[in-house]
Amino acid sequence: MKKALLIILMLTLSFSGKTESGYRLWLRYDPIPNRQLVTSYNNSISGITLSGTSGTISVAKEELINGLQGMLGRKVVATTAVINNSIVAGTPTSSNIISSLALQQQLATAGNEGFVIVTTKSNGKNIIAIAANNDVGVMYGIFHFLRLLQTQQSIKALNIASAPKIKLRVLNHWDNLNRHVERGYAGASIWDWHKLPGYIDQRYIDYARANASIGINGTVLTNVNANALVLTKQYLEKVAALAKVFRPYGIKVYLTARFSAPIEIGKLKTADPLDPQVQQWWKDKVNEIYTYVPDFGGFLVKANSEGQPGPQNYNRNHADGANTLADAVAPHGGIVMWRAFVYSNETPEDRFKQAYNEFKPLDGKFKKNVLIQVKNGPIDFQPREPFSPLFGAMPQTPLMMEFQVTQEYLGQGTNLVYEAPMFKEVLDADTYQKGKGSTVAKVIDGTLHDYSTSGLAGVANIGSDINWTGHLFGQSNWYALGRLAWDHTLTSEQIADEWLKQTFNTNPSFINTAKRIMLGSHEALVNYMTPLGLHHIMGTGHHYGPAPWVSNVGRADWNPVYYHKADEKGIGFDRTNKGSNALAQYAPEVQKQFEDVNTCPEPYLLWFHHVAWDHKMKSGRTLWEELCHKYYSGVDSVRSMQKAWETVKPMVDKERFEHVKMLLAVQEKEAVWWRNACLLYFQTHSKMPIPGGYEQPNQTLEYYKSLSFPFAPGNG
Ligand code: GCV
């Protein structure tokens, strides 16, 4: 009776709204309200026995104990002797019980990081075995087990085997040493460089726990627009302190390497990658880094892109640059992630084509420990982009995917946008490189070309805000990135379901409503920002809000007018063979999908065609009418999201309910702003009215053009 009262009290507290800042992410471990389920869990979990002595086992044990105690509302102790109805976790080497179970077959497919969870018997005792080949796999298994409980699944007859499909599952922080986060919308950088190495914020530990729980095994601490200072002793001591926190959680630390570091901090006259002195400098620097961080992961490099220095400053190519760094880290087992996000203003070429043009000829020229990191989309993380043609063009080079988790072009910190459907759309796209079924996912997980290494990176949306990501639902994007990097066959719906149940509650009515909001949110944003294949029409610099009229920025391809090409005839960028012919960079089957204006899938239409305003769309509307329809339906969707969120009020704590409600109201305003500003501007070209029946813009185009946001967050 007392216990029941305690649980009710805890539940009431957790719904009182006082403690629900969102800090606990999806690792809440609140008491499970379903008593029957708790009884069933209790019957299977009388104790726990974890074998192994590593730091990883010790953090995994702590997590398991805390998780179980929180959810079951009782004390859980670890024992050395296995008791009936208990959890036994370990590797065949660390645990006699695990090695005595017939798990060899499953473990053979688990690799270094995978795990097996089975309900079985050992010496007549009922146990749940969490087994792996390494301690890190045991830890991942424990997090998976806790997820089963948090999502309230049965643990009566478990038979699970899971291994990551992608080897490097990495977050990229665009965090500067002064704590400004480029494209960050959640406060300052979580790395408090000034207080490191002496002060270890609890947040670093919770960051590591959260990442480990979703399988993220690498973090690049610093911005790709890099500062060489991070490679100096003063900062390496700080980096080492963070690496020490992350190590038990299976997370390696990586740094961005400024290509001109040999000059800036090495006092050399050149950074030419083929200069023997420069090569030696990098080797020495890397040796030094490994004295601080013995398991340092390696470098991420942005070179010859947007003003960053690179090998081309010395008439060398990207392979020359990447290979010099790769040679330096290779003896230590390090890797180089070299970004393909390059475009040059000097080349009067469609920006869409430039990365392919520069990198395709280098296929096969990179050292074995180099991965080329390709941004999602040939332009730049737009709300919807066709997949980068590079994914179908470099069979001899491991290609990493770089997704944007932070919402630079996706409503930044104020819009609820669940990105998993966007990630999935790209991962499932078919490159046709080796015939039908050559999906982007198979390219990046290495199975299509049999790469020995593979990777997926996400530009982090994490900051110093109490709820980590600014918008509470931004957490779902961090979560989705990790889960998809582990297993890209998971559906967006499964991931949303998991995240919601762990982050809020398992009430079916709440889950159904919130899931509907999440699953429709990306399409809603595309509709009110860049429908039908429009792209890069955001405000200059900060990229906040619409500015399709901008035509005065120094570089042609930093101007929205470059991308939409609206004129009196129509709108859109002709990338067929009558235009820039970017389509030729894809396999013939992909070209076929997009090349005909009448059959091109409409979500991509204006990516590939300049289309007449009166072109007949599949709906029977003209292009202009369809554009209006999309913009209006985008706003309608946000209003529906607002209404739906209202209905979950009784099922969500006050603090988080109000947080989301207020932001949805901001989102509605921003969606209306996007719709009105874009339609009023495009109307100056189409000369057609916004069809009657739609609410008409309540401001003039001049008004929208006059808006300015000098302090919009995240600007570079
Ligand atoms: C880190 C876009 C962004 C920049 C970013 C760059 C990149 O241009 O606006 O902030 O710089 O991409 O990915 O390197």
> Which amino acid would we find at residue 125?
K
Among protein residues, the one whose CA lies closest to atom 4 of ligand 1:
716
Residue of the CA atom closest to atom 2 of ligand 1: 380
Are 372 and 335 in contact, with CB atoms under 8 Å apart?
no
- The protein residue with its alpha carbon nearest to ligand 1, atom 13, reads 341
* Cα of 340 from ligand 1 centre, angstroms: 12
In sequence order, the 6+-apart residues with CB closer than 8 A to the CB of 96 are none
Residue 182 Cα: closest atom of ligand 1: 10
Domain 22-162 is in which class?
Answer: alpha beta
Residue with CA closest to ligand 1 atom 11: 225
- Give 315-333 pLDDT, tens digit per residue: 999 999 999 999 999 999 9
CATH superfamily of 168-490: Glycosidases (3.20.20.80)
User: Residue 50: beta bridge partners?
Assistant: 89
**Helix H segments across 247-317?**
261-264, 276-292
Residue with tokens 């509302």: 73
pLDDT score for 665: 99
Distance CA 672, CA 636 (A): 9
Instruction: Please say if the pLDDT value at position 645 is more than 70.
Output: yes
Ligand 1 centroid distance, CA of 121 (Å) = 54
| Mean pLDDT on 172-194 | 98
Distance 391 CA to ligand 1 centre (A): 20
Choose one of 306, 342, 404 to mutate for the ligand 1 pocket test, by most ligand atoms within 8 angstroms of C-beta.
306
Q: Which atom of ligand 1 is nearest to the CA of 308?
A: 14
CA distance 452 to 680: 52
Beta sheet of 115-122, edge-to-edge order = 47-50, 86-90, 125-131, 115-122, 159-162
C-alpha 195 – ligand 1 centre gap (Å): 28
Q: Which atom of ligand 1 is nearest to the CA of 305?
A: 14
Outline where 124-200 has alpha helix (H).
Answer: 135-150
Question: How do residues 47-87 score in pLDDT, each as one tens digit?
Answer: 999 999 999 999 999 999 999 999 999 999 999 999 999 99
- Give the residue, out of 181, 183, 302, with the most ligand 1 atoms within 8 A of its beta carbon, to mutate for a pocket test: 183
C-alpha 646 – ligand 1 centre gap (Å): 36
Predicted local distance difference test score (pLDDT) of residue 348: 81
Q: Which of 380, 381, 542, 558 to mutate to test the pocket of ligand 1 (most atoms within 8 A of CB)?
A: 380
Which three-class secondary structure state does DSSP give residue 468? coil
Å from CA of 595 to ligand 1 middle: 29
Q: What is the set of active-site residues?
A: 306, 380, 408
Which of 556, 563, 430, 418 lies closest to 494 in space, CA to CA?
A: 418
Quote the mean pLDDT of the chain.
96
458: three-class secondary structure by DSSP:
strand
For atom 12 of ligand 1, the residue with the nearest CA is 380
With the most atoms of ligand 1 within 8 angstroms of its CB, the residue from 172, 173, 174 to mutate is 174
Distance, CA of 203 to CA of 447 (rounded, Å):
36
Please state, in angstroms and rounded to a whole number, the distance separating the CA atoms of residues 103 and 112.
15
Q: Which atom of ligand 1 is nearest to the CA of 543?
A: 9
What is the number of alpha carbons within 13 Å of residue 79 lying toward its C-beta? Answer: 14
Average pLDDT over residues 113-134: 97
R_g of the chain, CA atoms, integer Å = 26
Q: What is the pLDDT of residues 1-50, one digit of tens each?
A: 444 444 444 444 444 434 699 999 999 999 999 999 999 999 999 999 99
Give residue 138's pLDDT.
98
Q: Which residues line ligand 1 (CB under 6 A)?
A: 174, 182-183, 224-225, 302, 306, 341, 380, 716
CA of 306 to the centre of ligand 1 (A): 8
Q: Where are the domains of the chain?
A: 22-162, 168-490, 527-573+610-706
Query: How far apart are alpha carbons 333 and 338 in whole angstroms?
Result: 16
Ligand 1 midpoint to CA 453 (Å):
26
Q: Two tokens at 77? A: 């102790």
- Residues with Cβ < 8 Å from 662, sequence gap 6 or more? none
168-490 and 527-573+610-706 share one fold: no
Question: Phi first, then psi: what are they for 403, rounded to 5°?
Answer: -95, 155
Residue 19, pLDDT score:
65
pLDDT in tens, 691-702: 999 999 999 999
Atom of ligand 1 nearest to the CA of 459: 13
Give the H/E segment covering residue 50.
strand 47-50
* CATH code of the domain made up of 527-573+610-706: 3.90.1330.10
Taking residues 142-146, report their average pLDDT: 98
How does DSSP assign 269-289, residue by residue?
S---TT-HHHHHHHHHHHHHH
DSSP 331: G
Assess contact for 440 and 432: CB atoms under 8 A. Answer: no
Would you say 469 and 475 are in contact if contact means Cβ atoms under 8 Å apart? yes
CA 73 to chain centre: 34
With pLDDT > 70 as the criterion, what percentage of the chain qualifies? 97
Task: Dig out the tokens for 52 from the structure.
Answer: 């192994």
Average pLDDT over residues 293-315: 97
Atom of ligand 1 minimally distant from the CA of 174: 1
pTM above 0.95, yes or no: yes
Question: Closest ligand 1 atom, CA of 224?
Answer: 1
